[in-house]
């Protein structure tokens, strides 16, 4: 299976992201992860991301190919990098760090 790569630049020369969020059905952790990731993307990456939500129960072959062993798991591809984070993505600071985003010191969304 070919590895899917995100384009390095979005319009305007800004980095774009390909995000795969692996979830396990309609569990509370999966729902929280989807909510947190969508919120982060809209706040920090508007127009610069492609989010694909993959349910392990509905598409187990994709999880196997990506070597996903726990859910929820975020796999982020950008600028030739691939990084993973397991959990419900409620630690905003950690998700932003994974994505290489440094929020403003007075950002109430992260520091509040």
Query: 3-class secondary structure for 8-30?
Result: CECHHHCECEEEEEEECCCCHHH
| 37 closest CA partner among 95, 102, 83, 110 | 95
pLDDT score of 4: 36
* pLDDT per position as a tens digit, 5-24: 334 444 555 779 999 999 99
Residue 105 pLDDT:
85
Look at residue 94 and tell me whether its pLDDT is greater than 70: yes
Provide the CB-side half-sphere exposure for 49 (13 A, CA): 20
pTM (2 d.p.): 0.83
Domains delineated in the chain = 16-102 (3.40.30.10)
pLDDT in tens, 52-86: 999 999 999 998 999 998 999 999 999 899 999 99
């Amino acid at each position: 299976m070919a590895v899917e790569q995100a384009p390095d630049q979005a319009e305007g020369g800004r980095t774009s992201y390909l995000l795969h969020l692996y979830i396990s059905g309609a569990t509370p952790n999966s729902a929280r992860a989807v909510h947190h990731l969508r919120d982060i993307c809209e706040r920090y990456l508007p127009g610069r991301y492609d989010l694909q939500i993959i349910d392990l129960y509905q598409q187990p072959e994709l999880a196997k190919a990506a070597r996903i062993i726990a859910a929820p798991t975020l796999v982020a591809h950008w600028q030739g990098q691939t990084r993973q984070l397991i959990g419900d993505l409620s630690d905003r600071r950690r998700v932003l760090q994974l994505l290489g985003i440094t929020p403003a010191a007075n950002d109430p969304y992260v520091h509040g």
